[in-house]
């Protein structure tokens, strides 16, 4: 499963990118708005962090297909042709996908709440579909199961599209989709940090270090022996 950061806080993204085995960064208009800066200034810095080969996902805001197509062109011109253009899965969004996909544009279909949205987006040429796990839960459905159902639909219909699960509230949701083999997940920095945050781990390491110090002295490591 690809491991993608869902954030635009430059300092935090740099920290997570440095520590964890990540594959890219996703953004949306709400995430970018939190920075209070020009969107392309932030996105350019994110592109520098992930490099030319890392994935960067950027969302359009137009409601009509013509506007979406125009935005996609500017996004790719400013941030690189390999940038994934996030397009909401609406009727106009599907129209834009059908136009852009044959042109070689990487498309991430977003704002997905149902398996049928994902199926139609994949048919329209999207490379990723992004179901909102926690938001689906908040509507009284099972977001994890919806993501699994979407993956099954892709496999059963031989559609070359991957699930990019989004909107997580806890590490358990991530774990369940990892076990199922979901193609990718985009996760907020706080949830990422909680994936391996465990007092038992810290306690075990403290014991190891204490035992080692008892035979070598404080502050010594295997490099000093």
Active site residues: 86
Measured between its terminal Cα atoms, the distance across the chain in Å is 39
Strands 2-6 and 184-187: parallel
Number of CB atoms found within 10 A of residue 48's CB: 12
Local structure of 225: helix, strand or coil = coil
| Close Cβ partners of 143 (under 8 Å, ≥ 6 residues apart) | 131, 132, 133, 134, 135, 136, 137, 167, 173
């Amino acid at each position: 499963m690809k491991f993608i950061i869902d954030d635009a806080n430059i300092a935090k993204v740099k920290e997570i990118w440095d520590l964890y085995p990540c594959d890219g960064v996703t953004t949306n208009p709400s995430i970018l708005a939190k920075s209070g800066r020009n969107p392309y200034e932030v996105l350019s810095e994110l592109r520098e962090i992930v490099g030319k080969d890392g994935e960067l996902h950027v969302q359009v805001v137009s409601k009509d297909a013509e506007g979406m197509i125009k935005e996609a062109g500017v996004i790719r011109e400013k941030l690189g042709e390999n940038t994934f253009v996030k397009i909401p899965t609406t009727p106009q969004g599907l129209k834009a996908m059908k136009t852009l996909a044959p042109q070689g544009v990487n498309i991430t279909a977003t704002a997905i709440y149902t398996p049928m949205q994902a199926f139609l987006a994949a048919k329209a040429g999207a490379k990723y579909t992004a179901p909102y796990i926690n938001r689906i839960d908040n509507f009284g459905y099972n977001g994890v199961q919806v993501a699994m159902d979407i993956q099954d639909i892709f496999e059963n219909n031989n559609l070359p599209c991957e699930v990019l699960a989004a909107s997580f509230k806890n590490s358990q949701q991530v774990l369940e989709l990892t076990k199922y083999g979901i193609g990718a997940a985009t996760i907020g920095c706080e949830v990422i940090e909680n994936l391996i945050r465990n007092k038992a781990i810290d306690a075990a390491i403290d014991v190891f270090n204490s035992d080692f110090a008892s035979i070598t002295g404080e502050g010594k490591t295997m490099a000093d022996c």
